[in-house]
Chain A
Amino acid sequence: MTYLATTGRRDDAPAPPPTGGGAGRRIPATVLALGTVSLVTDVSSEMVTAVLPLYLVLGLGLSPLQFGFLDGLFNAASAVVRLIGGHAADRGGRHKRIAGIGYLLSACSRLGLLLAGGATAGLATALAADRVGKGIRTAPRDALISLSGPPETLGRSFGVHRAMDTTGALLGPLVAFTVLWATADAYDAVFVVSFCIGLLGVLVLLLYVPGGPALPTVSLSAVSRPTPVRTKALAPLRDPAFRRILAVAALLGAATIGDSFVFLLLQRGLDLAPGWFPLLPLGVAASYLLLAIPAGRIADRFGRRLPFLCGHLALLGGYVVLLTPLTPAAVVLVLVLLGVFYAATDGVLMALAGPVLPAVGRAGGLALLQTGQALTRLLGTAGFGAAWTLWGQRPALYAALTLLAVALTCGWALLRNPSHPERPTP
Chain B
Amino acid sequence: MNALSPRARLAVVLLAVLLLGGGSLGYVLRARQQAAPQQTTADASFTLAGPRLYYRDGDTGRVAYQADPTTAPVIGGPSCERFHAAGDTALCLQRRPGLPATADAVVLDRQLRETQRIALPGIPNRARVSASGRILAWTMFATGDSYATSAFSTRTSILNLNTGYLIKSMEQIPLTIDGTRYHAPDVNYWGVTFAADDNRFYATVATKGRTYLVQGDLAAWTATALRENVECPSLSPDNTRIAFKKRVTDGPDSPWRLYLLDLRTMTERPLAEPHSVDDQAAWLDDNTIGYALPTPDGHGTDLWSVPADGTGTPRLTVPGASSPVAVL
Residues in A lying within 8 Å of B, measured CB to CB? 1-3, 6, 11-12, 50-51, 53-54, 57-58, 60-61, 63-71, 117-120, 173, 176-177, 179-186, 188-189, 192-193, 196-197, 199-200, 203-204, 206-208, 210-211, 258, 260-261, 263-264, 267-268, 273-275, 277-278, 385, 388-389, 393
Contacts and interface: CB of A to CB of B under 8 A. Distances in A.
B13 interface: yes
Contact of B251 (A61, A69, A177, A264): A69
Contacts of A188: 27, 31
B208 interface: yes
A118 B297 CA distance: 7
B164 to A, nearest CB: 21
A118 B101 CA distance: 20
Contacts of A184: 32, 35-38, 97
A28 to B, nearest CB: 15
Contacts of A199: 16, 20
Nearest to B124: A58
Interface of B: 1-4, 9, 12-13, 16-17, 20-21, 23-24, 27-28, 31-32, 34-38, 81, 95, 97-102, 121-123, 141-152, 155, 185-186, 208, 251-252, 255, 278, 294, 297-301
A1 to B, nearest CB: 8
The 10 closest A-B pairs by CB, nearest first: A118-B298, A186-B31, A184-B35, A64-B152, A69-B252, A196-B20, A183-B31, A189-B31, A12-B2, A193-B24
Which of A1, A57, A117: most chain B CB closer than 10 A?
A57
B296 to A, nearest CB: 10
A182 B16 contact: no
A161 to B, nearest CB: 19
A207 B123 CA distance: 43
B35 to A, nearest CB: 4
B147 A385 contact: yes
B2 A210 contact: yes
Given A6-B2, A207-B1, A196 B147 contact: no
A64 B123 CA distance: 11
Given A51-B99, A54-B123, A189-B27, A274 B142 contact: yes
A1 B4 CA distance: 13
Contact of A183 (B1, B9, B35): B35
16 contacts: A11-B2, A53-B152, A63-B278, A64-B152, A69-B252, A71-B151, A120-B298, A188-B31, A196-B21, A196-B24, A197-B24, A208-B9, A264-B147, A274-B144, A274-B155, A277-B100
